C-alpha cells in the first residue's frame, strides 16, 4: 500500500500476539501431562515441545519480545540438538522451558499493553480513505491513518485533530478547482467564498455540463459545512473536546467528503 513504511506517532503501538503465545504455553503443559501419563513417548514429547517452542519464538518476535524469541530459539537450536539420551535431554529442556516461562512472565509484568475492541479494530487496521480518495489525496493518508488509530484507542479529540489536518489537501484542491484565492485561512471564510463561486456556475462558465458541475460542488459544500460546524474553528486551540460519537460522525463525513471530491478533483502531482 502507498503508506507502507511511513513514520507513525507514539500511538502506533506495536502488535502483541497473546493468543498464539498462550496457546503454545498451554500445549507445553499438555505435553508434559501426556508424557507423565504415558500418552506420549519421549520422542513424541520432544517433537511436540519443539513445535511449541518454535511457536513461542515466532509470536514473541512478532510482539517485539526479542529476549523471549532468542531464548526459545536457543532451546531448539542448541539443547534439542544435543547428542545425549532422551531422558537427559527431556530434563534439560524442561528446566530451560521453565526458565523461559519465567522470562515471559517478567516481560509481561513490565510491559504496558493496549486492548482494542473487536468493533474498533478495523479503524486501527484499515485506512479510512476510500481507494479513490487515497489516489486523489495521497498527502492525507498519514493523518487519516492516525485518525483511525486514535479512534481505535479511544482518543476521540486526537482523532478529530488528525481528520482536520487530513482535510488540508482536499480543501486546497476544491479551492483551486473553483479558481479563487481565499481572503482568509479561516474555514468559515473559505466555505462562504466557495459557495459564492458555486453560485456563479452557469451555462456561460461551464457549458452544457453546468448543472452537473453545480450539483457536484454544492454537495461538496454541504459536506464541508457539516465538518466546519462540527469543528467550530477553535477546537485546535484547546477550547473543545470530542466524544466517541462526535468523532465517529466527523470521521464519516470526512470520508464521504474526500470520496466525493475524488470523483473530479485531486491534489497537484509531486506532493510529498
User: pLDDT tens, 3-28?
Assistant: 444 443 433 344 555 666 677 777 77
Q: Hey, what's the cell of 202?
A: 452557469
Q: Output the pLDDT for position 234.
A: 47
Asked if residue 163 and residue 41 are part of one domain, the reply reads: no
Q: pTM of the prediction? A: 0.69
Asked if residue 247 and residue 172 are part of one domain, the reply reads: yes
Mean pLDDT of 88-111: 83
Q: Output the pLDDT for position 20.
A: 66
Structural domain tally of the chain? 2
User: pLDDT tens, 255-272?
Assistant: 999 999 999 999 987 544
Q: Dihedral of the CA atoms 236, 238, 242, 246 (nearest 10)?
A: -30
| Boundaries of domain holding 142 | 121-261
In order of 25, 39, 122, 155, 236, the CA distances from 190 in angstroms are: 59, 76, 33, 28, 17
Asked if residue 153 and residue 84 are part of one domain, the reply reads: no
Asked if residue 240 and residue 125 are part of one domain, the reply reads: yes
User: pLDDT tens, 35-73?
Assistant: 888 898 988 888 888 888 888 888 888 877 888 899 988
Mean pLDDT of 125-151: 94
Q: Taking a C-beta distance cutoff of 8 angstroms, is the pair 151, 125 a contact?
A: no
Of 79, 110, 141, which one is at a domain's C-terminal end?
A: 110
Sign of CA dihedral 99, 19, 154, 223: positive
Of 110, 136, 155, which one is at a domain's C-terminal end?
A: 110
Nearest to 3 by CA among 124, 156, 142, 107: 142
pLDDT over threshold 50, residue 88: yes
Higher pLDDT, 65 or 182: 182
Q: Examine residue 8 and state whether it is found in any structural domain, yes or no.
A: no
Amino acid at each position: 500500500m502507498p503508506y507502507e513504511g511511513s513514520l507513525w506517532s507514539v500511538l502506533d503501538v506495536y502488535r502483541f500476539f497473546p493468543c498464539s503465545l498462550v496457546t503454545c504455553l498451554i500445549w507445553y503443559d499438555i505435553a508434559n501431562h501426556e508424557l507423565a501419563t504415558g500418552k506420549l513417548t519421549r520422542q513424541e514429547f520432544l517433537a511436540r515441545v519443539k513445535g511449541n517452542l518454535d511457536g513461542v519464538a515466532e509470536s514473541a518476535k512478532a510482539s517485539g519480545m526479542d529476549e523471549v524469541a532468542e531464548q526459545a530459539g536457543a532451546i531448539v537450536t542448541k539443547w534439542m540438538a544435543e547428542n545425549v539420551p532422551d531422558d537427559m535431554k527431556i530434563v534439560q529442556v524442561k528446566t530451560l522451558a521453565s526458565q523461559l516461562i519465567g522470562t515471559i512472565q517478567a516481560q509481561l509484568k513490565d510491559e504496558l499493553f493496549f486492548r482494542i475492541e473487536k468493533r474498533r479494530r478495523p479503524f486501527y487496521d484499515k485506512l479510512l480513505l476510500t481507494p479513490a480518495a487515497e489516489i486523489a489525496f495521497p498527502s492525507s493518508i498519514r493523518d487519516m491513518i492516525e485518525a483511525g488509530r486514535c479512534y481505535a484507542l479511544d482518543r476521540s479529540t486526537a482523532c478529530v485533530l488528525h481528520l482536520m489536518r487530513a482535510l488540508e489537501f482536499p480543501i486546497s484542491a476544491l479551492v483551486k478547482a473553483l479558481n479563487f484565492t481565499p481572503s482568509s485561512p479561516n474555514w468559515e471564510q473559505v466555505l462562504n467564498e466557495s459557495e459564492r463561486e458555486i453560485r456563479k456556475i452557469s451555462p456561460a462558465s461551464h457549458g452544457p455540463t453546468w448543472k452537473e458541475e453545480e450539483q457536484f460542488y454544492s454537495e461538496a459544500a454541504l459536506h464541508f459545512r457539516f465538518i466546519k460546524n462540527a469543528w467550530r474553528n477553535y477546537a485546535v486551540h484547546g477550547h473543545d473536546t470530542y466524544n466517541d460519537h462526535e468523532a465517529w460522525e466527523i470521521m464519516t463525513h470526512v470520508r464521504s467528503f474526500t470520496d466525493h471530491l475524488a470523483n473530479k478533483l485531486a491534489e497537484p502531482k509531486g506532493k510529498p
